[in-house]
Amino acid sequence: MDYSKIIEELKKESSFNLYRLRVAIDQQLENPLRLYEIKKSVRIGQHITYFDARENRLIEAKIIRIMRTKLLVENTDDRQQWKIPFYSINLGGVNTNIVGAGTMGLDKCQLKVGDMVGFQDNENNDIHGKIIRLNQKTVTIKTGIGTQWRVGYEWLYLIIDVRQGDPNLIEVDLTTIDETKIVE
C-alpha cells in the first residue's frame, strides 16, 4: 500500500468525508474476526514491532500478556510497559515511512521521533538535531549541545546519515550518468 499516494488523495477531501472514512476504518479495525486472526498469530514472549501514532514510528517490544482486545507489551529500548491494540502490530513487516511529493518543507506524517532534521535560524545558521516530540504545528528538536527548538514543519529538511561501509548504501559515479536517459 502506497501511503504517500493515499495521503495526497486524502488532502483533497472534505473534513466530513475524512470523518466518515475514519468511522468506517474504526469499524473494520474493531471487527471481531480481524482481532481473532491477529490473536491467533501472537504468543507471550514474542518479539514484535508496533506502530506508535504519537511518535509516528515503529517500536520494538515483547508481548507480556494477551488480553481480549489488547496486548500488554514491554518496549525493548526503555522497558516501559504499554497496553496496545492488536491492530497496531506490524505482523507483515510493512514499511511505514511516508515520502513527500517534493514540496517545500516536511509534513508531520513524514517524520517520526528520533529522526535527524535541520533548519535555518533567523540568522541563516544551519541548526540540526533529533526530533523528540511531534506537536500539532511544530516539532521539538534537541540539538547535540542540548538546546531545544520548536520549529514549524515547513522549515525542516531531513538529514540523512550516510556512513561509509553501510550495506544499504549504493555508490554511484555521477560523472558517468547520461542525463538524457533519466526518467522521472
What the chain holds in terms of domains, given with CATH numbers, is: 3-88 (2.30.30.140), 108-158 (2.30.30.140)
Give 57's contacts (C-beta < 8 A, 6+ positions apart). Answer: 51, 96, 112, 113, 114
Q: How high is the pLDDT of residue 182?
A: 47
Q: Mean of the per-residue pLDDT values for the chain?
A: 84
Digit-coded pLDDT (tens) for 85-124: 999 999 988 888 766 555 557 778 788 898 999 888 888 8
Mean of the pLDDT values across residues 38-56? 93
Rounded percentage of the chain residues whose pLDDT exceeds 90: 50
Mean of the pLDDT values across residues 13-29? 95
Beta strands 70-75 and 138-143, pairing class: unpaired
Any idea what DSSP says for residue 91?
A: T
Any idea what DSSP says for residue 154?
A: G
- Retrieve residue 118's grid coordinates: 535541520
Beta strands 57-66 and 47-52, pairing class: antiparallel
Digit-coded pLDDT (tens) for 122-142: 888 888 999 999 988 899 999
Contacts 24+ apart (CB under 8 A), 34-43: 34/87, 35/69, 35/86, 35/87, 38/86, 38/87, 38/89, 38/91, 39/66, 39/86, 41/91, 42/66, 42/71, 42/86, 42/89, 42/91
Q: Is the model more confident about 77 or about 184?
A: 77
Output the pTM of the full model.
Answer: 0.62
